[in-house]
């Protein structure tokens, strides 16, 4: 059975999708509900840019065209889930390992709508271990650097990313300044990217509640 909060948030996102638009589509169980609902609603989009192989396969199975981002150009809208969101709509993502492609597409989109169930809202990011995608040969070096930054990295066994890299799940970061931490981790040689979406957070957060209600949260400065 689909989690009612995920279902509610995914359905609410449908109202933001225009016919004939090009859409960026994220990864995860909430996004899967959204993809299925988009197909069932009969909304005719021009096509989608997918943040993972799994999402591309699901879109294709519904007859939705999947485009290469290099050919799509700037996207109007990106829809994706998250593992945590703070009140400023800064996020932790990457629980599903698709963080790098997700960050690329979010950055290439004019608007990022994040869809979550209520359990993902937190006051301060960091309870969820922060995923970091790393070039395989740099694994031990990056792990040591992450310890120096104050966290405890854990190798995600058997989880190669779609880009052929590995994931370190970093426990215990005190994330008082997400923008600074995002930049500091990304500056370690061998890091592809990390799951903090703080420099480019969500513009709109749709939170699905257990009773089926949806609350809408807009980032300061977003139009």
User: Per-residue string for binding with ligand 5RP, 96-125, x by CB under 6 A?
Assistant: xxxx--x-----------------------
Contact between 5 and ligand 5RP by CB under 6 A: the answer reads no
Chosen residue from 24, 94, 126, 153 binding ligand 5RP by CB under 6 A: 94
What SS3 state is found at 80? strand
Please state the φ and ψ torsions of residue 167, each to the nearest 5 degrees: -120, 135
- Using CB under 6 A as the binding rule, whether residue 129 contacts ligand 5RP is answered as no
Residue 58 touches ligand 5RP, criterion: CB under 6 A: no
Three-state DSSP at 57 gives helix
User: 3-state DSSP: the chain helix, strand, coil percent, rounded to 5?
Assistant: 30, 25, 40
Which of 102, 133, 145, 182 is flagged as catalytic? 102
Minimal distance, residue 122 CB to ligand 5RP, in Å? 14
Q: Which of 95, 126, 190, 201 binds ligand 5RP (CB under 6 A)?
A: 95
Q: Which C-beta is closer to ligand 5RP: that of 145 or that of 162?
A: 162
Provide the binding-site residues for ligand 5RP, judged by CB under 6 A. 26-30, 80-83, 93-99, 102
Residues assigned a catalytic role: 102
């Amino acid at each position: 059975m689909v989690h009612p909060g995920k279902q509610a948030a995914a359905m609410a996102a449908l109202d933001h999708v225009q016919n004939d638009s090009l859409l960026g589509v994220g990864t995860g169980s909430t996004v899967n509900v959204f993809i299925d609902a988009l197909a069932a609603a009969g909304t005719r989009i021009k096509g989608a840019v997918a943040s993972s192989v799994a999402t591309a396969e699901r879109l294709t199975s519904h007859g939705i065209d999947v485009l290469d981002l290099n050919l799509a150009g700037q996207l109007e809208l990106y829809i994706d889930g998250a593992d945590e969101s703070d009140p400023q709509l800064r996020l932790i993502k990457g629980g599903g390992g698709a963080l790098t492609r997700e960050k690329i597409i979010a950055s290439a989109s004019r608007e990022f709508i994040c869809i979550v169930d209520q359990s993902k809202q937190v006051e301060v990011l960091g309870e969820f271990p922060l995923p970091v995608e790393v070039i395989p040969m740099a694994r031990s070096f990056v792990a040591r650097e992450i310890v120096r930054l104050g966290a405890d990295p854990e190798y995600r066994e058997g989880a190669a990313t779609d880009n052929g890299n590995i994931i370190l799940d970093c426990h215990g970061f005190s994330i008082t300044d997400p923008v600074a931490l995002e930049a500091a981790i990304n500056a370690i040689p061998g890091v592809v990217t990390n799951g903090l979406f703080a420099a480019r957070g969500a513009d709109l957060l749709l939170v699905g509640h257990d009773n089926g209600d949806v609350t809408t949260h807009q980032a300061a400065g977003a139009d």
